[in-house]
Amino acid sequence: MKIFEIMAKEGHEQLFFNYDRTTGLKSLIAIHDTRLGPALGGCRMWNYDTEEEAVLDVLRLSKGMTFKSAAAGVDYGGGKSLIWGNPATDKSEALFRAFARYVEALKGRFSTGTDVGTTYNDFIVALKETKYVGALPAEYGGGGNSGIITAYGIWKAIKAVAFELFGDDSLSGRTIAVQGLGKVGFHLVEHLMEEGAKIVACDINPDYIKAVVEKYPQIKIVDTQDIYDVECDVFSPNALGAIFNDQTIPRLKCKGIAGAANNQLAETRHDKALAAKGILYAPDYVANAGGLIQVCDELDGYIKERAFRKAAAIYDRLLDIFARARKDGVTTDEAANRMVEQRLQEISSVRRNYIG
């Protein structure tokens, strides 16, 4: 791999390789951009096939965190960490304490927390070796289940999409297609039902479906492959990424999109495909920033009301993006990217002066 060429092209600052001979820990920490502040990003534990796959994943994910942080209006940069291993068989107290010591060695340049393959319990262990950990349970000073605030932000995003489309953000009587009823989707449904929305939903997990239907029997459940064909006002993807592609976009019968799934566009060009169909897309890294906002607030000493007030700002941020897209004649995804770049440049320029 030509790692330095990749870093130069994508704008990365640092890539750390960490190995602990006692535990066999193999870990990477990537720091993409710290112009706004110290890097922040979760720790993914995954059994990668090759070193190259692991490096490319941590570099890609860390860049995504730069955009998400900048769009959320927080003063943190983008980073990501990973532990190369099987989360079902390779975890131990010693492994996560060894990993945490490498995080601590960066002295606050990078903070981390849960991601795919890691849990609260892993980072309760990590706390023994570093304070640069977020996404913790309430009893450890954290905000608890981040799916709750993420769902709150998605609800605000759907309302912003409705306002842009219909001139009224009420969801009463609106049909929302919810893809995924897990950590975020379940709580999103609660907000939507309180507003009187009509919900068509799906999930691959029958237990998730059962939990939602027991509480809201009026919800219509469809097969996971049929959700794309549902005629609705807003489609809300809250499961897998890369779901909007050459096969699914022609099938969509929605007017707008807003959901919590990461990397919803299979390729960047698919923002234009959505726009060509007249579908208003709320860029995923803007809409789903609730969890990030909670973690950032934890690092400052978690106050629930403050965190949810910041998450509520997703509504106005999206309206600004929609307005900018109209004004500049670009897609909403491109408008969001331009907004991010503008904030990165402006704030870093403001901070160039020495103030003692």
pLDDT for the residue numbered 67: 95
Q: pLDDT digits over 52-91, tens only?
A: 999 999 999 999 999 999 999 999 999 999 999 999 999 9
pLDDT for the residue numbered 207: 96
Kindly list the domain boundaries of the chain, sorted by start residue: 3-67+76-135, 146-289+314-342
pLDDT for the residue numbered 127: 96
Q: Is 215 a catalytic residue?
A: no
Q: What are the tokens at 31? A: 């720091």
Q: pLDDT digits over 113-136, tens only?
A: 988 899 989 999 999 999 999 889
Instruction: Please identify which residue in the block is written with the tokens 């706004």.
Output: 36
The C-alpha atoms of residue 133 and residue 130 are separated, in whole angstroms, by: 7
Q: Point out the catalytic residue in the list 80, 156, 159, 310.
A: 80
Contact present, 270 and 245 (Cβ < 8 Å): yes
Could you count the other beta carbons within 10 Å of the beta carbon of residue 108? Answer: 14
In the chain, the amino acid numbered 45 is M
Tell me which CATH homologous superfamily contains domain 146-289+314-342: NAD(P)-binding Rossmann-like Domain (3.40.50.720)
pLDDT for the residue numbered 355: 82
Q: What is the DSSP letter of 169?
A: -
pLDDT for the residue numbered 254: 98
Contact present, 37 and 108 (Cβ < 8 Å): no
Q: By C-alpha distance, which of 281, 228, 277, 256 is closest to 166?
A: 256
Domain 3-67+76-135 is of which CATH architecture?
3-Layer(aba) Sandwich (3.40)
In the chain, the amino acid numbered 6 is I
Low-confidence ranges of the chain (pLDDT < 70): none
Q: Regarding beta strands 175-179 and 198-202, do their DSSP bridges make them parallel or antiparallel, or are they unpaired? A: parallel
pLDDT for the residue numbered 353: 82
DSSP 31-97: EEE-SSSSEE--EEEE--SSHHHHHHHHHHHHHHHHHHHHHHT-S-EEEEEEEES-TTTS--HHHHH
Task: Pinpoint the alpha helices (H) of the chain.
Answer: 3-10, 51-72, 93-104, 120-126, 146-166, 185-194, 206-215, 270-276, 284-287, 290-299, 304-312, 314-328, 332-350
pLDDT for the residue numbered 224: 96
Q: By C-alpha distance, which of 265, 258, 322, 319 is closest to 289?
A: 258
